[in-house]
Amino acid sequence: MPDSYTKEVRDLHLFSDMEDQHFQSLIRAAYVQNFPPQIELISEGDPSDFLHILLTGSVDLFSSWNERETSMATVRPVSTFILAASVREAPYLMSARTMEKSRIMLIPSQNVREVFAQDGQFARAIVDELAQCYRGVIKNTKDLKLRTSLERLANYLLREQLRSGGGASFRLEAEKRRLASFLGMTSENLSRAFKGLRPYGVTVTGKQITITNQADLEGFAKPHPLIDER
């Protein structure tokens, strides 16, 4: 049932413009649940019964094939996930597991589709959100196909730096092994990649990253808005 997170949810771009009556109807249908760390919330292939909204904590979206597994994205509060599967009534393409203790709101997909049909603002917001998600994945594909692992790491660090405020020093949000998987490499290779960036002015101490030579790193990474801008 609704709680103090309602306001934060309401402020999400997806819900911010819709009529209050419709928002309330979604919230009434929704329920909020707490999950411990390392719980598999969703398994790929499952029917998409709920739109999920991460309120607190963090969630890893990952996929598997033939005994292999890769991290596709990390969800941080407050944001929705698996909207595409919900609106298409199609099975999930990714699995989701909590990385830490997490609070999650679940809105039945059925209700989302009903409100979609009634509320033009909501429909518009869903289109925006989907288009943005789509563009995000395209950027990710470009990153994967056009860059080496060292270049991907360099650009990732620049993005994280920006996200953390732009200072020379910042902390990695992700565990390194998850980061490795997200960037499409092994943990061992990530370790070596960090070393490989030392000549370009990157210092690593645990999760603490310091960029001692911004110009050098950018010269190597060559970040590009059509790949890296989020």
Partner DNA sequence: GCGGGCAGTTGACATTTATCAAGTGAATGC
Partner DNA sequence: GCATTCACTTGATAAATGTCAACTGCCCGC
- Tell me, by CB under 7 A, how many residues bind DNA: 19
Stretch that binds DNA, among 75-83, 116-124, 157-165, 179-187 (CB under 7 A): 179-187
Tell me if 191 contacts DNA by CB under 7 A.
Answer: yes
Which lies closer to a second copy via its Cβ, residue 55 or residue 59?
59
Tell me if 204 contacts DNA by CB under 7 A.
Answer: yes
* Minimal distance, residue 211 CB to a second copy, in Å: 20
Tell me if 31 contacts DNA by CB under 7 A.
Answer: no
Tell me if 96 contacts DNA by CB under 7 A.
Answer: no
- 184/186 Cα distance (integer angstroms): 7
Backbone angles phi, psi at 35, to 5 degrees: -125, 140
- 209/203 Cα distance (integer angstroms): 6
Which pair of structure tokens corresponds to residue 165? 């405020």
* Minimal distance, residue 78 CB to a second copy, in Å: 21
On whether the CB atoms of residues 80 and 14 are closer than 8 A, the answer is yes
Site string for DNA, 131-150 (x = CB under 7 A): -----------------xxx
On whether the CB atoms of residues 89 and 38 are closer than 8 A, the answer is no
Tell me if 175 contacts DNA by CB under 7 A.
Answer: yes
State the pairing for strand pair 169-171/68-75: unpaired
- 68-91 b/e with 16+ CB inside 10 Å = b? eeebbbbbebbbbbbbbbbbeeee
Which lies closer to DNA via its Cβ, residue 97 or residue 176?
176
Please give the single-letter amino acid code of residue 180. Answer: A
* Minimal distance, residue 177 CB to DNA, in Å: 3
| Closest to 121 measured CA to CA, from 111, 109, 129 | 129
Binding footprint of DNA on the chain (CB under 7 A)? 148-150, 175-177, 184-192, 194-195, 204, 206
